[in-house]
């Protein structure tokens, strides 16, 4: 928006240091890569990111390769969300964007008037901003979604009975591409940030705490969930970050209420299994930035009027894919023997059917914006 001559002000609850210390996802759809390039923040990504042509799915010792590039002509980029945020901060600083950290008690008003109002407290003093539009990018627990009257919102949710325990470790990856591992002991993901920094996960009950998982226990459990050939290459080391993330699917409709637009986690949450969280936020931004430029620079409001419907169409497809991947790869505590056989059958189908692999690849690299 700033590059198009539209002034923006960013309100952020946390400090910049806190924002840049958060460890988040690292798989970028190719559409996300292209949006970052277009925004002028792709140089470091291009230099430091890792382009992956595919991924691996496993069941016990069997490995099935999904060749994205051969099946779709597209790839994905491995580049941490923390690094994306760093690049965006630098770009905003260069443009002189006003970013206000440490705000509290945010409220949003006058969404049906000529200008919206955003009130907030900073260092004990109350302030008010007047603006043409408000982009609510404040996450699942933010104020933006709750500003839409409860009677006007429709919310859809599925909470999964497990979480992902993830660690960051300065060790080499076990494979040149990600491994999504299903096993009788539960799910594991072997991911990476670079050639000597891995992000690894194991499925754990929601009742577990980080303190229950010393490094030795984590690596032992991670090893036994990997295929034997990958486990043999595993190099372990101390965790430099460790956390447990619960899994849920959530969508709130509509994404527009007067002059307010919901973007990213404020409107939707996906399980990380399909690598869609950050990428869905980018597609929301893609749709909304075009719509706001048309409205503010050219007086055309078709884009903002259609934002919610357009974004939700892609969101629900990503929801379906993330739910499918989560169901196919995770062990559920109350499942019967039939469920385990269905997981094996799903992987069998992927191994035998190019059509099935292409469908998975098309969704993983990202549906068109």
pLDDT 10s digits, 112-158: 999 999 999 999 999 999 999 999 999 999 999 999 999 999 999 99
In a domain, 285, yes or no: yes
Is 52 one of the annotated active-site residues of the chain?
yes
Compute the distance between CA of residue 369 and CA of residue 367 in angstroms, rounded to an integer.
6
CA distance 91 to 219: 38
Q: What tokens appear for 277 in the block? A: 């969280």
Residue 330 appears among annotated catalytic residues: no
Whole-number Å distance between alpha carbons of 19 and 356:
39
337 occurs within a structural domain:
no
149 labelled catalytic: no
* Residue tagged active-site, from 242, 268, 276, 330: 276
Residue 312 structure tokens: 């939700």
Low-confidence ranges of the chain (pLDDT < 70): none
Tens of pLDDT along 25-44? 789 999 999 999 999 999 99
What phi and psi, each to the nearest 5 degrees, are found at residue 190? Answer: -100, 105
**Cross-strand bridge partners of residue 99:** 10
Tell me, yes or no, whether 18 lies in a domain.
Answer: yes
Query: What residues make up the domain containing 118?
Result: 2-54+69-158+247-332
Which residue out of 52, 242, 268, 330 is catalytically annotated?
52
Q: Does some domain include residue 338? A: no
User: Which is the catalytic residue, given 79, 133, 180, 307?
Assistant: 180
Question: What is the rounded distance in angstroms from the CA atom of residue 177 to the CA atom of residue 191?
Answer: 8
Residue 171 in any domain: the answer is no
Contacts of 223 (CB under 8 A, 6+ apart): 231, 234
The span from the CA of 230 to the CA of 37, in Å, is 34
**pLDDT tens sequence across 230-258:** 999 999 999 999 999 999 999 999 999 99
Q: Rounded to the nearest 5°, which phi and psi values hold at 118?
A: -125, 115
The answer to whether residue 35 is domain-embedded is yes
Planar angle of CA 292, 297, 298, nearest 5 degrees:
100
pLDDT reported for residue 61: 81
Distance CA 189, CA 186 (A): 10
Output the pLDDT for position 219: 98
- Report the distance separating Cα 304 and Cα 310, nearest Å: 10
Determine whether 307 is an active site residue.
no
Q: Tell me whether residue 262 is in a domain.
A: yes
Domain count, the chain: 1
What 3-state DSSP class applies to 41? coil
Catalytic residue among 173, 227, 272, 307: 272
The per-residue pLDDT for 335 is: 87
Alpha helix (H) residue ranges in the chain: 16-21, 30-38, 43-48, 68-72, 81-95, 143-147, 215-225, 228-231, 277-298, 302-329, 337-352, 354-365
Cα gap 206→176, rounded to integer Å: 31
pLDDT, residue 333, reads 87
CA distances to 28, 45, 281, 294, 325 from 171, rounded to whole Å, are 22, 21, 30, 47, 27
CATH number where 76 lies: 3.50.50.60
Active-site residue identified among 79, 133, 160, 364: 364
Q: Give the span between the Cα atoms of 202 and 210, in whole angstroms.
A: 12
77 within some domain? yes
């Amino acid at each position: 928006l700033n590059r198009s001559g539209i002034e923006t002000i960013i309100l952020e609850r946390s400090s910049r240091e806190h924002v840049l210390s958060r460890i988040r996802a690292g798989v970028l759809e190719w559409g996300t890569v292209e949006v970052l390039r277009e925004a002028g923040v792709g140089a470091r990504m291009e230099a430091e990111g890792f382009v992956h042509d595919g991924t691996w799915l496993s069941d016990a010792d069997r490995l099935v390769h999904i060749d994205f590039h051969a099946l779709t002509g597209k790839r994905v980029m491995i580049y941490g969300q923390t690094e994306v945020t760093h690049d965006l901060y630098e770009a905003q600083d260069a443009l002189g964007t006003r970013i206000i950290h440490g705000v509290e008690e945010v409220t949003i008003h006058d969404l049906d008037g000529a200008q919206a109002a955003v009130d907030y407290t900073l260092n004990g003093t109350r302030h008010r901003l007047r603006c043409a539009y408000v982009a609510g990018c404040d996450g699942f627990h933010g104020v933006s979604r709750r500003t839409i009257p409860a009677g006007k919102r429709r919310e859809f949710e599925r909470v999964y009975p497990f979480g992902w325990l993830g660690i960051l470790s300065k060790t080499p990856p076990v494979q040149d591409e990600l491994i999504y591992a299903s096993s009788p002991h539960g799910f594991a993901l072997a991911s990476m940030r670079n050639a000597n920094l891995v992000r690894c996960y194991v499925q754990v009950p929601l009742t577990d705490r980080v303190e229950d998982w010393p490094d030795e226990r984590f690596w032992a459990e991670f090893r036994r969930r990997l295929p034997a050939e990958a486990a043999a290459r595993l190099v372990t080391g101390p965790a430099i970050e460790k956390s447990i993330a619960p899994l849920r699917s959530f969508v709130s409709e509509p994404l527009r209420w007067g002059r307010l637009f919901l973007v990213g986690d404020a409107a939707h949450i996906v399980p990380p299994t399909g690598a869609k969280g950050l990428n869905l936020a980018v597609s929301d931004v893609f749709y909304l930035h075009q719509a706001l430029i048309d409205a503010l620079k050219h007086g055309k409001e078709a884009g903002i009027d259609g934002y919610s419907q357009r974004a939700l169409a892609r969101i629900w497809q990503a929801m379906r894919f993330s739910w499918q991947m989560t169901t196919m790869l995770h062990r559920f505590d109350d499942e019967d023997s039939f469920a385990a056989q269905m997981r094996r059958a799903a992987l069998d189908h992927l191994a035998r059917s190019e059509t099935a692999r292409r469908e998975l690849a098309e969704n993983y690299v990202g549906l068109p914006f």
